[in-house]
Structure 1
Amino acid sequence: MLAAYAARIDPDDPVRGLEVGERPEPECPSGWTTVTVRAVSLNHHDLWSLRGVGLSASQLPMILGCDAAGIDEDGNEVVVHSVISDPEWRGDETLDPRRSLLSERYQGTFAERVVVPRRNLVPKPASLSFEEAACMPTSWLTAYRMLFTQSGLRPGDTVLVQGAGGGVSTALVVLAKATGHRVWVTSRSAAKRKRAVEELGADAAFEPGTRLPERVDAVMETVGAATWGHSLRALRPGGTLVVSGATSGANPPAELNRVFFLQLRVVGSTMGTRDELVGLLSLCERAGLRPVIDDVLPLTEIGKGLAALAAGKVFGKIVATV
């Protein structure tokens, strides 16, 4: 079958490690099922894998990809939940110490077919296209958990989204606005700031590090070192900083004096559960929410999409069709 896979590890130029070609059909263990893939979406996780973060040379070749929407063995349209937990685990899958994502321990979704545990399939709403549904399991699910499970926000609160333009940040803006929050964003790009306000509905957009008109109730942080200090300074006393990524570096100054003196909450957030994915899809269907899709490519051109993602030339999600 046709697949896009990590053939080599290259920390400096990750896309060079990508190949698109024929791979063996996946074997389906007991309790798992095969999905015929219609669309996938690209994530920074795929670039980290090509750099060798969480993926070793001994595991290669590894089919990349966490996200997929397609058809199950019974002909149902489904969305794949990519968090694979231990079969004996009960409760929040993201807390399972033995969890993994597709394309880490198990072959990923950038292929004509992928095998997953049966419990990892969620019905695709008829109102979402395969391309739109493929954006949900990583970026949009991460945003959903940050806002509705981890932040403690209430409708009417003000939230700052750092680094508007990426898949998670655009999802954060759309979801927060749809549920009654005031949303501010930052971006180095004037064009992205403009689009965040005019297309996504953000209430205001600022350059990174700008002093805000007032302090906010929560900050959604996916950038890391480059925006960490600003995120802490932007919070009101007792506010919450929700962290789900660190694309600019993972070791910023802690600034603990500010954290304890202002009684700030710093909360980590990783992916989301199957139940949260069900809730996200239901919200999108009821509220008519749709992901921002920057580009749609055939699977054979997925390297072009990963290169654009690595260069930061993306607003929303890049999708590949199979």
Structure 2
Amino acid sequence: MLAAYAVAADAQDPLSALRVGEIEPPPVPDGWVTVQVRAAALNHHDVWSLRGVGLPADRLPMILGCDAAGVTDDGREVVVHAVINDPTYTGPDETFDPRRSLLSERHPGTLAETVRVPARNLVAKPAALSFAEAACLPTAWLTAYRALFTAAGLRPGDSVLVQGAGGGVATAAIMIGRATGLRVWVTSRDPGRGERALELGAHRVFAAGERLPGRVDAVLDSVGAATWSHSVNALRPGGRLVTVGTTSGAEPPSAELTKIFFKPLQVVGSTMGTRDELAAVLQLVESTGLRPLVDRVLPLSDAAAGLAALAAGEVFGKVVLEP
């Protein structure tokens, strides 16, 4: 089948580790369900995989991709939940499983004509959503939803600062936050992206690192080192800094420990979300009319172009591939 897959790891030139072509996927556990992929969305996770992060050489070649929407062999239209749990795990929250993985880490991913997943990892696709729209939700929108409501515990009327204005998680957080009654502020290094954030629903946009006119209840930070100090300083006493990524690196110049304990602040890590939270995201977009922002739709054969644009920071929203 046609797929986009990693054949090596290259930290400096990740696209050189990519191949797009015919591949026979390795076997998967008995009882998993086959999904004919109609659309798959790209994530920074795919670029990191090509760099070798979380994907050792003994698992190569590996089909990339976490997100997909498609059709099962019995005709059901579904969205794929990418968190794969250890079969022995029985806890209430899939993200707490220490042996969990994502599709494309231990098992073949979604950038292919078909993907196989445990039956529990399928959620019904709302009829109102296109396959391309639905494919954008399982990572970026799920991450944003969990960060805002499960990790930060925000309620209508609360305030949140979203660091960065263009990525999939950031655009999702802006749209979800505005639709659910939050006061949403955003930072951006690019005035053009800031204007687009306002169009998506942000109440105010500030330059990266700019002093804010007030302090917020929570900060959603997917940037990491470059924004860490600003995130800490933006919080009211008792506020929560929810970290969901480190696209600028994981080692800030200062950990800001004195401010964290003195204010006192809460620092909460948040990653992906549960299947039930994904179902809640689907219900939210269906009931509110929200739709994920799609930057571009490309054929699967052009996966390299989509990944190159993502790696270069040239997208606003999500890149979708269609087999």
| TM-score interval for Structure 1 and Structure 2 normalised by the shorter chain | over 0.9
Identity of aligned residues (%): 66
Q: Which residue of 1 aligns with 2:226?
A: 226
TM-score (norm 1): 0.98
For 1:269 and 1:29, locate their aligned partners in 2 and report how far apart those are by CA, in whole Å.
28
For 1:78 and 1:27, locate their aligned partners in 2 and report how far apart those are by CA, in whole Å.
22
Q: Which residue of 1 aligns with 2:283?
A: 282
TM-score (norm 2): 0.98
For 2:193 and 2:56, locate their aligned partners in 1 and report how far apart those are by CA, in whole Å.
35
State the one-letter code of the partner of 2:194: R
Q: Which residue of 2 aligns with 1:169?
A: 170
**Contact 2:37–2:68 (CA under 8 A) maintained in structure 1:** yes
State the one-letter code of the partner of 2:144: A
The equivalences for 1:38-117 within 5 A come to 38-90=38-90, 91-117=92-118
Q: Which residue of 2 aligns with 1:319?
A: 320
Offset at 1:157?
Answer: 1.1
Structure 2 counterpart SS, 1:140: helix
Q: Are 2:133 and 1:132 aligned? A: yes
State the one-letter code of the partner of 2:202: A
For 2:114 and 2:25, locate their aligned partners in 1 and report how far apart those are by CA, in whole Å.
8
For 2:73 and 2:124, locate their aligned partners in 1 and report how far apart those are by CA, in whole Å.
13
**Contact 2:238–2:266 (CA under 8 A) maintained in structure 1:** yes
For 1:25 and 1:104, locate their aligned partners in 2 and report how far apart those are by CA, in whole Å.
14
Aligned-residue CA RMSD (Å)? 0.8
For 1:28 and 1:146, locate their aligned partners in 2 and report how far apart those are by CA, in whole Å.
31
**Contact 1:26–1:114 (CA under 8 A) maintained in structure 2:** no
Q: Which residue of 1 aligns with 2:212?
A: 212
Q: Which residue of 1 aligns with 2:35?
A: 35
Q: Which residue of 1 aligns with 2:274?
A: 273
Offset at 1:34?
Answer: 0.5
Structure 2 counterpart SS, 1:103: coil
Offset at 1:26?
Answer: 5.3
Offset at 1:191?
Answer: 0.5
For 2:192 and 2:297, locate their aligned partners in 1 and report how far apart those are by CA, in whole Å.
21
For 1:29 and 1:182, locate their aligned partners in 2 and report how far apart those are by CA, in whole Å.
45
Offset at 1:88?
Answer: 2.1
Offset at 1:25?
Answer: 4.8
Offset at 1:301?
Answer: 0.4
For 1:162 and 1:128, locate their aligned partners in 2 and report how far apart those are by CA, in whole Å.
28
Offset at 1:59?
Answer: 1.2
The 4+ residue runs of structure 1 with deviation greater than 6 A are: none
The worse-fitting range, judged by mean Cα deviation, of 86-95 and 97-106 is 86-95
**Contact 1:294–1:316 (CA under 8 A) maintained in structure 2:** yes
**Contact 1:237–1:262 (CA under 8 A) maintained in structure 2:** yes
Structure 2 counterpart SS, 1:186: strand
Offset at 1:27?
Answer: 3.4
**Contact 2:149–2:155 (CA under 8 A) maintained in structure 1:** no
Q: Which residue of 1 aligns with 2:235?
A: 235
**Contact 2:25–2:108 (CA under 8 A) maintained in structure 1:** no
Structure 2 residue runs without a partner (length 5+): none
**Contact 1:25–1:113 (CA under 8 A) maintained in structure 2:** no
**Contact 1:293–1:318 (CA under 8 A) maintained in structure 2:** yes
Q: Which residue of 1 aligns with 2:197?
A: 196
Structure 1 residue runs without a partner (length 5+): none
For 2:135 and 2:7, locate their aligned partners in 1 and report how far apart those are by CA, in whole Å.
24
